[in-house]
């Protein structure tokens, strides 16, 4: 949607603006709301529908697929489109998906009570990052809106590397995060927070603002092109405005935040959140404004999150992610907490061990895990519930859900306390309960606030199965309020009196067919058929004449009726008042409920990690708090791949701090999987989880970098190679001895000579200058020389075998470098004709010997520096194997084999020793080091068809 399209639809639609002077009062009111919400489509309540008019109506009709109608009044005809209020969610979703923000213009006074035009106001602006409607929110996810701004007032001298402030708020739960850093750090944090919407301050790129001169090299949508990015009133980004805004949320905001940029980002994001919630002042439930330093967590940038497939799988099985493997949570609270933990693994060894303690205890206690699962399965989304309570949006059912969730707390505490019995602990107290064994669970159990008063209040006040409407009675329990009970009993007695009336009047009048009824228009009546009219008593007053009967009332009936109606109306109104009072009292405990929500979330997450550890046979890693400690993993597995591979082959990793492992091996042999498995174990351990291995001894690292796979960034307009190089640049700038770096086939996206040179130089730099622990997978075989040249470099490789002519990858990592020419074997195994394979081999041998003499000349390497003697070359390995097991696929080297006259395919020419020069040249140029089997096959297939067509 272009900016121009949006302009005619949001703000005052041109069709309405043109008739502004003569509009009816209602459309004038609509125009006013539109004018006050320039960036949104205003949906205007008219009875049971939300309506839009003119150009806005056309957009609503198109996007929501509803009929475009017309409103005609004395001033003209206006296109109109409406969506039913009762069923608005899916239409709102469609509008959000189409990129619109929607301002809800509700009727804010009772239409019946209004004299003249009903008052309307925008009660909420629904935007991608601030939706609070449950129907529109995915459960268990966090939906943030973020604000980004730069240090210094707008127009200040713009340095190239300014400090940016970032603040994000989840409007549904009230969580608010604030941080700052250089553009790179903030981009990384933005990727972790993954907001649906970013509001940018002056001086940051806003795609909708043409005059912007791209002052900072920072694109708020870089990590996710679906993110909505836009500007907002620049005034809210100003320092003083921000301080004013923040004061109700945090005392002394200037002291609380680190610098101007944080202060202004926090002020702006809250201003925007308030604006979307109807601008009613501070959002009371946003009580947890937390400032954090990005350095307090293991830093994983977007590239690392993507390539390690933490939340999204780039391949086919979209659900195969680390998050899916770890997610055995029982409620939305736990799910969101787990997501936060994976996005922000810890860097404090004590805190990590403390989580491991808790996971270990729960892993040992099957009954406790089951108890937690049972209890939390009935828990509702407490954070969102309490958010609605304090926004004054909760209905009686929400309060009941809150009650049901609070009710699981004592159960949960008892489950955790039953630790002694189950774990066979001797320290059990008199009741047999030792309480949780670990400090972590004990502290957590202490944070499980039962909130008994709140629970009792809700239970005594709110009906057990209340209706959704809170204005029509039925929400307050009998016995809660004497006045209400009196009114309800008046109402009940009146109805009983009326229920008895039919019998008593029949008796009094002797009319057996007399009946008592009720309708909306006339209220209660006594109906007598025409045949009995002569027996009607004097006190009957005629109410209505029907075809064969008359309807009457009596003064006594009228009196009762008024009593009933009056009592019912007053009771409904009183119920509403009482309900709001109860809701307000619950809202006063928002902070405690939020703290409880945090504790429940943590219990759920720890139990989930424990269940996953048990189910998948993970082990507790030993966390070594020593800056020189390396990574030691015995029998490590890839947590995601092991779920889909029937027989996953575990591998060891022994990576001293600052070492660089150069990993070689055929395509598909398992290099990437191995590197990621190592990185994922580091992430898992720092999340607090156990790891998929037999044993692991891990350091605490602070950053993890990846350059894995060729990730095309078409949306970002960068070529693969550019992308690769900019990721590499970041690593070379920022990695250090506290980092783990994965480099997968660096330099692959350009000409071999350049690629090889870049890969070599990068590896040397990482080793010599950065001291980062590095796994470097490469097809450039000469990189294995690094092991001989550098103290902390060593080689690892993967091998393959063949059985019955089929190639089998062993997926086992072994020390040393692999053969460089496996590509030809793979081509041969795939059935490429023998002459082509043979010729390829010769060419490879020629290239190898050239390269060897070149490199010897260049580096002065001795023979001793050649690849490790224990290396098992795939070619040699396969040659031996082949002697014993001839391939199932026969090479097509028999001239007669293809000469089937019916096939129309000529047999290949006998090539003898000489290939046509152009084919030979192409074969020579074929860069096997950077050719995948499929590419090799395609190339060979091409060459073959040219030979067959004899036009080589």
Ligand X SMILES: Nc1ncnc2c1ncn2[C@@H]1O[C@H](COP(=O)(O)OP(=O)(O)OP(=O)(O)O)[C@@H](O)[C@H]1O
Residues that bind ligand X (CB under 6 A): 641, 645, 648-649, 665, 667-673, 811
E strand spans, 779-825: 793-803, 806-815
- Residues with Cβ within 8 Å of 103's Cβ and at least 6 positions away in sequence, in order, are 33, 37, 40, 41, 42, 43, 122, 124, 125, 126
- Residue closer to ligand X by CB (options 317, 432) is 317
**What does the alpha-carbon distance between residue 588 and residue 389 come to, in Å, rounded to a whole number?**
10
- Residue closer to ligand X by CB (options 142, 664) is 664
Q: In the numeric block, which tokens belong to residue 133?
A: 């409607």
- Residue closer to ligand X by CB (options 228, 672) is 672
- Residues with Cβ within 8 Å of 366's Cβ and at least 6 positions away in sequence, in order, are 422, 614
- Residue closer to ligand X by CB (options 360, 670) is 670
- Residue closer to ligand X by CB (options 297, 779) is 779
**What does the alpha-carbon distance between residue 214 and residue 677 come to, in Å, rounded to a whole number?**
39
3-class DSSP state of 112: coil
Residue 665 annotated in ligand binding: yes
Q: Find out whether 619 and 660 touch, Cβ atoms under 8 Å.
A: no
Residue 764: how many other CB atoms lie within 10 Å: 16
Question: What is the smallest separation between the CB atom of 811 and ligand X, expressed in angstroms?
Answer: 3
**What does the alpha-carbon distance between residue 125 and residue 101 come to, in Å, rounded to a whole number?**
7
- Residue closer to ligand X by CB (options 710, 722) is 710
Question: What is the smallest separation between the CB atom of 710 and ligand X, expressed in angstroms?
Answer: 10
- Residue closer to ligand X by CB (options 366, 644) is 644
Residue 670 annotated in ligand binding: yes
Question: What is the smallest separation between the CB atom of 744 and ligand X, expressed in angstroms?
Answer: 7
Question: What is the smallest separation between the CB atom of 935 and ligand X, expressed in angstroms?
Answer: 11
Question: What is the smallest separation between the CB atom of 937 and ligand X, expressed in angstroms?
Answer: 14
* Angle of the 590-616 helix axis to the 349-364 helix axis, nearest 10: 70
**What does the alpha-carbon distance between residue 929 and residue 780 come to, in Å, rounded to a whole number?**
6
- Residue closer to ligand X by CB (options 10, 673) is 673
Residue 671 annotated in ligand binding: yes
- Residue closer to ligand X by CB (options 336, 811) is 811
Residue 668 annotated in ligand binding: yes
∠ Cα 835 839 844 (to 5°): 150
Question: What is the smallest separation between the CB atom of 781 and ligand X, expressed in angstroms?
Answer: 13
Question: What is the smallest separation between the CB atom of 716 and ligand X, expressed in angstroms?
Answer: 23
**What does the alpha-carbon distance between residue 223 and residue 119 come to, in Å, rounded to a whole number?**
43
- Residue closer to ligand X by CB (options 437, 811) is 811
In 645-699, where does DSSP find H-type helix? Answer: 671-687
- Residues with Cβ within 8 Å of 685's Cβ and at least 6 positions away in sequence, in order, are 352, 356, 621, 623, 691, 696, 698
- Residue closer to ligand X by CB (options 26, 810) is 810
Q: How many residues does the chain have?
A: 952
Question: What is the smallest separation between the CB atom of 316 and ligand X, expressed in angstroms?
Answer: 11
Long-range contacts of 450-456 (CB under 8 A, 24+ apart): 450/406, 450/409, 450/410, 450/413, 451/406, 451/409, 451/589, 451/592, 451/593, 451/596, 454/402, 454/406, 454/585, 454/586, 454/589, 454/592, 454/593, 455/403, 455/406, 455/407
**What does the alpha-carbon distance between residue 465 and residue 503 come to, in Å, rounded to a whole number?**
34
Q: Which helix (H) or strand (E) holds 633?
A: strand 631-636
Query: How far separated are the first and last CA of the chain, in Å rounded?
Result: 52
Q: Find out whether 342 and 323 touch, Cβ atoms under 8 Å.
A: yes
Question: What is the smallest separation between the CB atom of 668 and ligand X, expressed in angstroms?
Answer: 4
Question: What is the smallest separation between the CB atom of 147 and ligand X, expressed in angstroms?
Answer: 40
**What does the alpha-carbon distance between residue 197 and residue 209 come to, in Å, rounded to a whole number?**
16
Residue 667 annotated in ligand binding: yes
Question: What is the smallest separation between the CB atom of 805 and ligand X, expressed in angstroms?
Answer: 20
Binding residue ranges for ATP = 665-672
Binding residue ranges = 665-672
């Amino acid at each position: 949607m272009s900016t121009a399209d949006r302009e005619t639809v949001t703000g005052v639609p041109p069709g309405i603006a043109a008739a502004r002077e003569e509009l009816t009062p209602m459309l004038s009111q609509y125009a006013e709301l539109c004018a006050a919400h320039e960036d949104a489509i205003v949906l205007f309540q008219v009875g049971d529908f939300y309506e839009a008019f003119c150009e806005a109506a056309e957009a609503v009709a198109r996007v929501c697929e509803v009929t475009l109608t017309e409103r005609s009044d004395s001033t003209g005809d206006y296109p109109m489109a409406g969506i039913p209020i009762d069923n608005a969610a899916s239409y709102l979703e469609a509008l959000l998906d189409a990129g619109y923000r929607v301002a809800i213009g509700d009727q804010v006074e009772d239409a019946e009570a209004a004299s003249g035009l009903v008052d309307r106001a925008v009660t909420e602006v629904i935007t991608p990052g601030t939706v609070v409607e449950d129907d529109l929110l995915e459960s268990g996810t966090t939906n943030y809106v973020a604000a980004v701004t730069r240090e210094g007032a707008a127009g200040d001298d713009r340095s190239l590397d300014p400090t940016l402030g970032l603040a994000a708020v989840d409007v549904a739960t009230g969580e608010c995060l604030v941080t700052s850093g250089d553009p790179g750090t903030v981009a990384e944090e933005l990727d972790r927070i993954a907001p649906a919407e970013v509001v940018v301050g002056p001086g940051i790129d806003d795609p909708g603002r043409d005059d912007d001169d791209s002052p900072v090299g920072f694109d708020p949508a870089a990590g996710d092109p679906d993110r909505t990015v836009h500007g907002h009133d620049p005034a809210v980004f100003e320092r003083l405005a921000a301080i004013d805004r923040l004061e109700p949320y945090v005392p002394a905001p200037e002291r609380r935040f680190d610098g101007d940029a944080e202060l202004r980002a926090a002020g702006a994001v809250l201003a925007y959140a308030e604006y979307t919630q109807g601008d009613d002042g501070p959002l009371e439930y946003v009580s947890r404004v937390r400032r954090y330093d990005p350095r307090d967590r293991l830093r994983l940038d977007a590239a690392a999150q993507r390539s390690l497939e933490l939340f999204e799988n780039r391949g086919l099985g979209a659900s195969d992610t680390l998050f899916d493997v770890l997610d055995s949570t029982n409620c939305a609270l736990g799910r969101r907490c787990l997501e936060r933990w994976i996005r922000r693994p810890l860097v404090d060894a004590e805190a990590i061990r403390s989580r491991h303690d808790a996971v270990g205890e729960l892993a040992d206690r099957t009954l406790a895990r089951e108890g937690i699962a049972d209890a939390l399965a009935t828990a509702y989304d407490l954070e969102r519930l309490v958010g609605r309570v304090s926004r004054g949006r909760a209905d009686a059912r929400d309060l009941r859900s809150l009650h049901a969730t609070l009710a699981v707390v004592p159960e949960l505490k008892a489950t955790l306390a039953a630790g002694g019995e189950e774990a066979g602990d001797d320290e059990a107290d008199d009741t047999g309960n030792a309480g949780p064994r670990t400090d972590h669970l004990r502290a957590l159990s202490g944070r499980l606030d039962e909130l008994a008063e709140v629970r009792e209040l809700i239970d005594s006040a709110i009906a057990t199965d209340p209706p959704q409407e809170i204005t029509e009675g039925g929400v307050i329990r009998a016995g809660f309020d004497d006045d209400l009970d009196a009114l309800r009993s008046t109402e009940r007695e009146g109805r009983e009196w009326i229920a008895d009336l039919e019998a008593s009047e029949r008796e009094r009048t002797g009319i057996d067919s007399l009946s008592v009824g009720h309708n909306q228009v006339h209220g209660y009546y006594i109906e007598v058929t025409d045949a009995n009219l002569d027996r009607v008593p004097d006190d009957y007053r005629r109410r209505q004449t029907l075809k064969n009967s008359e309807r009457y009332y009596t003064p006594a009936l009228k009196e009762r009726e008024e009593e009933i109606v009056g009592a019912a109306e007053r009771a409904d109104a009183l119920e509403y008042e009482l309900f709001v009072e109860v809701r307000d009292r619950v809202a006063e405990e928002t902070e405690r409920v939020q703290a409880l929500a945090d504790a429940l979330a943590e219990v759920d997450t720890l139990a989930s990690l424990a269940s996953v550890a048990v189910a998948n046979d993970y082990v507790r890693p030993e966390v070594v708090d020593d800056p020189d400690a390396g990574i030691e993993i015995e029998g490590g597995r890839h947590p995601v791949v092991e779920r889909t591979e029937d027989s996953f082959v575990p591998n060891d990793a022994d990576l001293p701090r600052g070492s660089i492992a150069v990993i070689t091996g055929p395509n598909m042999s398992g290099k990437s999987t191995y590197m990621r498995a190592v990185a994922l174990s580091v992430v898992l351990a720092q999340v607090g989880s156990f790891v998929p291995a037999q044993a692991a001894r891990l350091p605490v690292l602070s950053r993890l970098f990846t350059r894995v796979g060729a990730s095309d960034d078409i949306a970002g307009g960068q070529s693969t190679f550019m992308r690769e190089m900019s990721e590499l640049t970041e690593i070379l700038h920022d990695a250090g001895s506290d980092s783990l770096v994965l480099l997968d086939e660096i330099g692959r996206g350009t000409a071999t000579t350049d690629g090889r040179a870049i890969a070599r130089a990068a590896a040397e730099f990482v080793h010599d200058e950065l001291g980062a622990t590095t796994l470097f997978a490469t097809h450039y075989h000469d990189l294995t020389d690094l092991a001989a040249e550098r103290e902390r470099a060593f080689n690892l490789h993967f091998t393959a075998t063949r059985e019955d002519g089929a190639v089998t990858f062993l997926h086992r990592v072994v020390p040393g470098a692999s053969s460089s020419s496996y590509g030809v074997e793979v081509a041969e195994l795939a059935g490429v004709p023998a002459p082509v394979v043979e010729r390829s081999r010769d060419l490879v041998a020629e290239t190898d010997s050239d390269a060897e003499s070149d490199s010897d000349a260049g580096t002065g390497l001795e023979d001793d520096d050649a690849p490790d003697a224990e290396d098992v070359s795939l070619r040699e390995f396969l040659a031996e194997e082949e002697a014993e097991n001839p391939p199932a696929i026969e090479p097509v080297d028999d001239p007669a084999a293809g000469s089937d006259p019916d096939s129309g395919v000529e047999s290949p020419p006998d090539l003898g020793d000489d290939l046509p020069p152009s084919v030979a040249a192409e074969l020579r140029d074929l860069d096997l080091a950077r050719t995948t089997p499929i590419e090799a096959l395609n190339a060979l297939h091409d060459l073959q068809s040219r030979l067959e067509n004899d036009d080589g």
